Structure formats: C-alpha cells, structure tokens
Amino acid sequence: MRLKKGDLFILIVIVLALISYFGIKTIYKDIENKAVVIYVDGIEYDRIYLNSIKEEQLIHIDLKNEKFIDINVSNDGVYVSDVICPDRICVKTGFINKVGQSIVCLPNKVQIYIEGGMRADVDGVSY
C-alpha cells in the first residue's frame, strides 16, 4: 500500500499539531500564580509559590504526640513522602500539580492544596 499526496499531507499536519501542542505545554508551564498552601490544625502553616522554587524542598512538620509529616515541594507540584498515621492515605494520594487539587491527612489535621489564579478544571458532573 502506497501513501497518496493527500494522506501524506494529513499525516504531516497531525505530526506538526502534536509537536506544537507538546512544545507549547513544555515552554509555557502554568506555574506563574500557583501556590502550595499547608494548613495544620486549621491554621496556615506555610505558603510556597511554585515559581520561586529552584530545587525540590523537603518540609518536615513535627506534630503532636511525636508524630510528623514530610512534604516534598518542587516547581512541578507537591506530594507527601512520609507520615506517621494509621492509614497513610495522604501518601497514597500521590503527586498533585493542578489548581484545586488537595492532599488531606485527617488523623494529623493537615491539609495541603494548590491554589492559583487559574480556574480549576471542572467536569460535566460538577458543573
């Protein structure tokens, strides 16, 4: 089977569209106004703007009753690497990097979420 001129043209257009889409996504990361906000016991503990981070930071928070939580923040997002609590759901939540996403550790009363100037993605059900 041989490609015709029209098939080749469509293939080139698709390849160029994919290259430009991923190129633009790579060049223009949406970290300008994003901030990681950490609350402990309902009080704001820290606010870190993602565009000000040069390398990954480890935030170690000592909690009551000899408990702790380790939070890793980079310019790409945030995740909980270690915590002392029974279920460790906050560690299982994984990496978050979009406005509106959050990580919550209920036993330790820690909330981590990303806020920013962009609107959060809304799906059809919650709209």
Which pLDDT score is estimated for 34?
86
Which pLDDT score is estimated for 39?
95
The DSSP H or E segment spanning 80 is: strand 77-83
Which pLDDT score is estimated for 24?
75
Which pLDDT score is estimated for 40?
93
* Whether this model's pTM surpasses 0.95: no
Which pLDDT score is estimated for 43?
92
The DSSP H or E segment spanning 24 is: helix 5-27
Which residues does 36 contact at the CB level (< 8 Å), separation at least 6?
46, 47, 48, 50, 73, 78, 112, 113, 114
Which pLDDT score is estimated for 52?
85
Residue reference for tokens 């889409």: 21
Contact assessment for residue 108 and residue 91, using Cβ atoms and an 8 Å cutoff: no
Q: For the chain, which ranges sit under pLDDT 70?
A: 26-32, 117-127
Which pLDDT score is estimated for 121?
53
Exposed/middle/buried for residue 54 (C-beta within 10 Å: 0-12, 13-18, 19+): exposed
Which pLDDT score is estimated for 4?
84
